[in-house]
Structure 1
Amino acid sequence: MVEDINTFKSVEIDLINMTSTNGGNVLPAEEPPTVLYVGQHETQRSEQVNVDLLRRAQDHGYDLLTTPITTPKFQSRVLELLESHMSRLETSDTASSIPLPMISSLSPEDSDLVPEDSNSSLIAVTSPWIDMASLDPLIAHISRQIFSLEVAYAAFCGVSNVLVHGPTTSEGTARFARTILEALGLGAYVHLHLLMPMTGELEQDVSADGTHLAEMVRPQYASADEDESEGEPELFASWEMWNTIRTICSYTTRLSIALEVPRGLPPQSLQCRWYSEPIRLLMLPRTSFLRNGKGYPVLSKQHQHFLTLLLRLRFPPWALLSDCGRIPLETTTAGGESEPTPGLTPAEAAASRLRDSVDDPTQHLQYMRHLQQSQPSRPPIERFGQGYQDYMQSPLQPLTDNLESITYEVFEKDPVKYEWYERAIALALKDLRALLGDERQVIVAVAGAGRGPLVTRVLQASRKTGINVKCYAVEKNPNAHLLLQRRNATDPLWANQVTVVASDMRSWPGPTTTDGSLTETDLLVSELLGSFADNELSPECLDGVQHVLHPGHGISIPQSFSAHLTPIASPRLHSDLLSRASTDISLSVSEKWEIPYVVMLHQFDYLSTAAVPATAEGPRTPDVQQAWSFSHPVPAEILAQARQRGAGGTAADTGTPYTGPSTNDHNARSCTLRFACADRGVCHGLAGYFETVLYSSPNDSHKNNNSAQQTIELSTNPVTMAEKSKDMISWFPIFFPLKTPLFIPDGGEMEVSMWRQTDDRKVWYEWVGEVYVHVPVGEEGGTKRLRVGMSELHSSRRNGCMM
């Protein structure tokens, strides 16, 4: 558990400052206002973008403005050059000897863009009429030159954000991607944003007023697919083009998406896929908006929901209102009244002020600001982890590291976990009283007491149930042990009735009677679970302390726990790992792919989901499968066999590690899971969760009490968390990365094999992914399972958890 929020001190401190306590529960701080940068974009901008226009736009509430890099005169010059060259080719008998045309450098007439300090508020737009993916080498050559000239000049002028129109067909996508890759080298601070439709084609015809170079492709290079079916476009075609481009560009963080939002949103499966991608700009054309009963522009409920999801990202995209009204000429006074535009008569100015507000050219902007101010509240776990979504942290070594107080304080603020623990303890105490009698004092040991939150819950459960307990707090951290002693002396609830023990739980001999002899524990309580249940050595620790538990009626809380997996697409995490430099000199570059990371997963997509009707609304249900499980206490025969198995120890004469059976072999696990993937996608890793049964009472009498819950469970599994432990914040998921992402075709199957490996020194994980498709065989309708992709075997052995 403790590794979830505490790897970096600044993260811990910020999370602490976000919260305040009230009766032991966490209260997220006041939610910060939603940040939304809104820009104005015109596909055919006629007014020159300068400082005055930008200031006017900002006066009316816009944050950003787009500007074309080159002018229509530059387009005319290029078309003349291209037509002249084609004429030469047509009249020449030796066309191969004619060199490809070269476009000269930009002239003052070719661009209105100049270096200005205000250019940080501009998004430069490359020429939408070029075709870098063209099959015609002449058109592609001209387009690449134009694109390079424009990006280089934008970088020179200090514009760091450049909007680029993406490819229109899948043909030539690789050529387009190579051009993008070259352009990224033209400026170290230039970020390219590819304008892509969610599906099909862009709703705005950017080449309506001019010749597109695609129209000048020579007949011998015309695409064979142009005259084919005019049916519905392939649903994921646009996403797959993007995937090809970003893969060739090695997931660079300087390449992102400007996603055009259509009037009718595609199915939720595609919405979720785009959500997981690096959307930096959200293009909202006029056609995306509806008109309400009063004539004002609004977005549909589905559009509002999609926007809300994007605004909750760690880095929310900017919104670009496209062709939703020009920048008004008039400005406003300090009192909010419109000043008349110069040159208007008083009557004309009055008419302008009295015009209906639905004709206001900034009405779409006003609506976006309304949405910004009326965003719904975030769920508690999002408020708790605000700013740290998709922030990967290496797990701690819980048995070798001593935690600091601020680390304990973070997870003690969970509003659910300790309440559920108290319920489980109370239920167990009642069952033990029924078994042992009313006079018998119940001996309870809290193993790994930390700063004592579970001790407090034991004492509260004792008080509420009226069952007398003798409580032991066992803690190996000497600093925490000192705090436990002080708390025992000063806390009125503890009142010096807790026996505080400074010991590793595995070497603690157990509780003692008044005459000093050892006795056994009736109830053993611990909170050793990690994000993947067993990744903080909970099985090993509980095995080591089980000798103090009564072999007949002894109860362990938790009683059992299980690890769960599902494949996910997370380009953000993969990109972060690619660019992450190791801060540990003992960690090689390749080893960063072989560490399971604790991370608050946020911007990702489930690749395998439960089948739902196509018309169904609401969130999809991921297919999360159980990898393995553990139960406690472990049968005595298993522990006895483990002791016999490890009798060889270490060869004392040579120091060579013993290579025979390990005393911990019984805690090794493995699994092979199959996940059906309806839609194509890319797997970047595996998301891990856990479920645990804190206590399940065998006492049937509890069933007669409607207020009593017979089984107390916790879960981080997204399928069951809402039912078992809603709003719990102690644990973030775990992420097992894949060094090389795996592409999964439509209807493919992802097979995951994972091992929990162990020896007498450490525990580590190994994992591998495989992709299969089912292809038809013969005429009888049979199929054959064919493997089409496989990852390498990943192993965290060098960075395993030390026992």
Structure 2
Amino acid sequence: MAHEYSGQDSDSSDDIRPAFHIGQHDSTRFETVTNTQYGQILNSGFRFVTTPITTTHFQERIAELFDDSLLRANSQQNVGSRIDPIVTPITPKDTTLFPEVYTSGFVGYASPWIDLCSPNHIVASISRQVLNLEVDYANFCGVRSIIVPGPREDSVQAGSGRGIAQYARAIREALLLGTRVNLIIHLPMYREPGLEEKVAQLSISDNTPDKLQSAKEIDIFTSWDSWHVIRTSLENTPGTAFQGSTDEMTNQAGHPSLGRPHQELIHAYMRLKHTPYFLLCDVGPELQDEPAVEQTIDTSSASQFPTLEDAAVVTQPAKSDRRVRGHNAYLAYLRHLERLQEPYTELELNTLTNFQDWLQSPLQPLSDNLESVTYEVFEGDPVKYNQYETAIEEALREWSELKKPTSSPDAVVIAVAGSGRGPLVTRALQASETTGIPVKVWAVEKNPNAYVYLLRQNQTVWGGRVTVVKTDMRAWKGPLISPPDAPAVHGKVDILVSELLGSFGDNELSPECLDGIQHVLAPDHGISIPSSYTAHVSPISTPRLFADIKNRREQGGDVNAFNTPWVVRLFALDFVAARAPDHGRFQLAWEFEHPLSQATMDTVAARRSGGVVGGGGGSMAGGVGANDHNARECHLTFVCKSRGVIHGLAGYFEAVLYESQIEENEDGNKPMVELSILPDMIDRKSKDMVSWFPIFFPLKVSYSSPISPPYFLVGRRQPLYFPSDSELEVTMWRQTDDAKVWYEWMVEAYRWVSEMERIKVGGSDLCRSRDVACLM
């Protein structure tokens, strides 16, 4: 059934949802809107409006200059010189835009008739000067954002990349003049026939857009190619507007309606910290200049119009702002979609949104003592601790059913290694109460400040049921079971519980820490929670993070910016790999299991005592190789159907907290209590868990300069480009020298040119985090 959408709001809910900032653009508008017209637009439900910066008088003046320059060029006999026309400054006849109270509520629209891509010097020069004059003048008037129409043809269509490079250079020059404005490049999402700019340019080449309509296939990535050239030329400065067809916004009955994929795309974009704007083109409202209307208009909100950066602030529009006066079907439909947005959760409002694409250095849990507020953030995730409590419950139940011996005569002995402020201790005690199985709990913590807190918790919350020990878990000798006056005798632990996992599973030295405390675990029947964990990677495109890291390196002086595995809540990204047989989008890098086998423990002890000569990375790096069993490496191949760029590797982990020892599923596998931050698994294994953000391994690509052999590497960093139908080969190492642990990684791009031949088309430098390694 066809529907028309009302602009009225439901008063039934006060839930806070993403706010849509919707603007209005009229391609036939040649003068700045009057106060009255601007008020009508605001009162119709729009939040902002575009305005031409110059008038038709200016266009006519430039056309005369263009014609005159062409005549002079055609009559010129000296081929060694060229005509260089000069565009004189803007005059009052050339514009109706002037500084006003409400000017900041306008989005300037640069003249669409200029041709920055033209191979003709006269056209290109005039176009560049016009853009500079308009940007400079709008900047003076107080306009905060300016839309610049993008190239009308892409490099593939034009047969040359010169025009796009020339366009990018012109934009970069304009940015030097627009010191207080955002420049927005207006590009179609892809070159769909019918979306071409209709305004005639100063000159029209033989490669007119009409030829595009006769093409049998549309390459949907040609616009992306242009955008990529422009953004990299501008040092990855964000700020691009993509246009979609309004024809796709109508259903069979002629009412506005978007398909499910478009709706999902909008929903995803509106969860961004920096939310996009919507711009409705040529869909009203009809404007009037009646004096009587002016008295009913409220333009007070004009001065409050936010910049694109300000739009990142999560705000909920007042109901009066979202009420449509004078029905506009497209605007009403977008407001309908706005009401369909999922409300922000409390966690999103207070924490998660602020962490989007925000780089954080990984924790150093062994070398640093964490502050209370850091522990508090961890403890704010109930999902993780519910899973841990479930794992402890299952372990206790099966312990009882299997009639396993205990390390204490009357209770199962549980040790929480790295207790922090004690959330896992609380969950262990609750699991005991739920199952009715008595336990003795030991809390082991090296942080002297957290130790004080644990002692207080034992007095006020746990009722003295916990024994608190201040020591590095690797130095703990186990539960003290001898009388106070007798020589010290230490017992064993039945269940060892820890939450030492990092974003990559092992990046906070969980393997090393659990190896160091394994000697206290009962050798025949002891259980480790977690029992295993795996690291996974996927190549991603994330221009925002790349620009941030590049700025840290070049402006902030952080020489290790490209060698640091950053913890970050990845949000504005694209997974470039396709789902292919035997080559998934997310692939397993390596795995760790606990407890270690006795043979491995014997080898470690022998190396520490000097009983083994040689070894792996540890011994060659100056150590004895006692931690070489925790070194890892992987070589993974990812299939990329479409061309693109890669800025780094996204890292994730999964963990098995406990695997049943007596039950089996219908498929013959044993039930498991798990944690996962893999995007395609988190909802199934640990839905809504937010304790861990992914880890990001950035890539650095240094290009060689062929000035004179031998070639040298240039320091300028760029992302790794790969063509369509490529394979990305990722090689990673987890390295150690017995004193610290670090990662090394690199990516190579290959393309098959025949059934038997594959060529390398690109590759990154070898990145290594040794200088920011995790200290043991």
What is the TM-score when the length of structure 1 is the normalising length?
Answer: 0.81
Match of 1:304 among 255, 263, 279: 263
1:332-382 Cα deviation digits (max 9, x unpaired) = 899999xxxxxxxxxxxxxxxxxxx99956343333333323322357875
1:585-607 Cα deviation digits (max 9, x unpaired) = xxx43311111111111111101
Match of 2:471 in 1: 503
SS at match of 2:137: helix
Match of 1:425 among 384, 392, 395: 392
Give the aligned length: 697
Corresponding position: 1:126 with 2:110? yes
| 583 and 191 in structure 1: CA distance in 2 versus 1, 3 angstrom threshold | closer
Corresponding position: 1:734 with 2:695? yes
Shift of the alpha carbon at 1:717? 1.2
Shift of the alpha carbon at 1:737? 0.9
Match of 1:797 among 766, 770, 774: 770
Match of 1:6 in 2: none
Shift of the alpha carbon at 1:94? 4.3
Any gaps of 5 or more consecutive residues in structure 2? Answer: 1-12, 299-322, 612-618, 701-717
Corresponding position: 1:716 with 2:677? yes
| 583 and 68 in structure 1: CA distance in 2 versus 1, 3 angstrom threshold | closer
Match of 1:251 in 2: 236
SS at match of 1:386: helix
Q: Is the 8 A contact 2:16 2:344 kept in 1?
A: no
Alignment of 1:104-143 (within 5 A): 104-143=88-127
Match of 2:579 among 610, 613, 628: 610
Corresponding position: 1:743 with 2:728? no
Query: 2-side partners of 1:300 and 1:228: how far apart?
Result: 24
Query: 1-side partners of 2:116 and 2:31: how far apart?
Result: 27
Alignment of 1:783-794 (within 5 A): 783-794=756-767
Shift of the alpha carbon at 1:52? 3.8
Q: Is the 8 A contact 2:475 2:517 kept in 1?
A: yes
Alignment of 1:86-485 (within 5 A): 86-94=70-78, 97=81, 99-169=83-153, 170=155, 171=160, 172-201=163-192, 203-208=194-199, 211-215=200-204, 217=205, 230-253=215-238, 256-263=239-246, 287-290=247-250, 296-329=255-288, 360=326, 362-377=328-343, 382=348, 385-433=352-400, 434-436=402-404, 440-485=410-455
Q: Is the 8 A contact 2:49 2:107 kept in 1?
A: yes
Shift of the alpha carbon at 1:130? 1.2
Shift of the alpha carbon at 1:441? 2.0
1:312-349 Cα deviation digits (max 9, x unpaired) = 11111111111011354378899999xxxxxxxxxxxx
Report % sequence identity: 44
Equivalent AA in structure 1 for residue 760 of structure 2 = R
Equivalent AA in structure 1 for residue 114 of structure 2 = I
Equivalent AA in structure 1 for residue 744 of structure 2 = E
Equivalent AA in structure 2 for residue 257 of structure 1 = T
Match of 1:530 in 2: 502
Match of 1:615 in 2: none
Equivalent AA in structure 1 for residue 420 of structure 2 = G
Q: Is the 8 A contact 2:370 2:447 kept in 1?
A: yes
| 205 and 174 in structure 1: CA distance in 2 versus 1, 3 angstrom threshold | closer
| 693 and 672 in structure 1: CA distance in 2 versus 1, 3 angstrom threshold | same
Query: 2-side partners of 1:775 and 1:646: how far apart?
Result: 51
Shift of the alpha carbon at 1:431? 3.0
Equivalent AA in structure 1 for residue 676 of structure 2 = S
Shift of the alpha carbon at 1:793? 1.1
| 661 and 327 in structure 1: CA distance in 2 versus 1, 3 angstrom threshold | farther
Q: Is the 8 A contact 1:488 1:495 kept in 2?
A: yes
SS at match of 2:728: strand
Shift of the alpha carbon at 1:205? 5.0
Match of 2:640 in 1: 677
Query: 2-side partners of 1:801 and 1:583: how far apart?
Result: 25
Corresponding position: 1:601 with 2:561? no
| 783 and 380 in structure 1: CA distance in 2 versus 1, 3 angstrom threshold | farther
Match of 1:574 in 2: 546
Shift of the alpha carbon at 1:102? 1.9
Q: Is the 8 A contact 2:482 2:490 kept in 1?
A: no
| 154 and 623 in structure 1: CA distance in 2 versus 1, 3 angstrom threshold | same
Segments ≥4 residues shifted beyond 4 Å: 91-98, 201-205, 222-229, 330-337, 357-361, 378-384, 437-440, 581-584
| 333 and 442 in structure 1: CA distance in 2 versus 1, 3 angstrom threshold | farther
Two-structure CA RMSD over aligned residues (Å): 3.2
Match of 2:711 in 1: none
Match of 2:733 among 732, 751, 755: 755
| 190 and 358 in structure 1: CA distance in 2 versus 1, 3 angstrom threshold | closer
Equivalent AA in structure 2 for residue 289 of structure 1 = M
Equivalent AA in structure 2 for residue 126 of structure 1 = A
Equivalent AA in structure 1 for residue 264 of structure 2 = H
What is the TM-score when the length of structure 2 is the normalising length?
Answer: 0.84
Q: Is the 8 A contact 1:392 1:598 kept in 2?
A: yes
Query: 2-side partners of 1:582 and 1:456: how far apart?
Result: 47
| 499 and 359 in structure 1: CA distance in 2 versus 1, 3 angstrom threshold | closer
| 335 and 158 in structure 1: CA distance in 2 versus 1, 3 angstrom threshold | closer
SS at match of 1:84: helix
1:596-650 Cα deviation digits (max 9, x unpaired) = 11111111110113159xxxxxxxx96100111111111222223223324469x
| 297 and 110 in structure 1: CA distance in 2 versus 1, 3 angstrom threshold | same
Equivalent AA in structure 2 for residue 766 of structure 1 = E
Shift of the alpha carbon at 1:795? 1.1
Query: 2-side partners of 1:333 and 1:407: how far apart?
Result: 55
Q: Is the 8 A contact 2:83 2:122 kept in 1?
A: no
Query: 2-side partners of 1:225 and 1:156: how far apart?
Result: 38
Equivalent AA in structure 1 for residue 639 of structure 2 = A
Query: 2-side partners of 1:409 and 1:361: how far apart?
Result: 49
1:154-213 Cα deviation digits (max 9, x unpaired) = 2222223110111122241111111111111112222111111111147455434xx322
Query: 2-side partners of 1:95 and 1:228: how far apart?
Result: 38
Equivalent AA in structure 2 for residue 697 of structure 1 = S
| 289 and 436 in structure 1: CA distance in 2 versus 1, 3 angstrom threshold | closer
Equivalent AA in structure 2 for residue 486 of structure 1 = R
| 97 and 548 in structure 1: CA distance in 2 versus 1, 3 angstrom threshold | closer
Shift of the alpha carbon at 1:712? 1.1
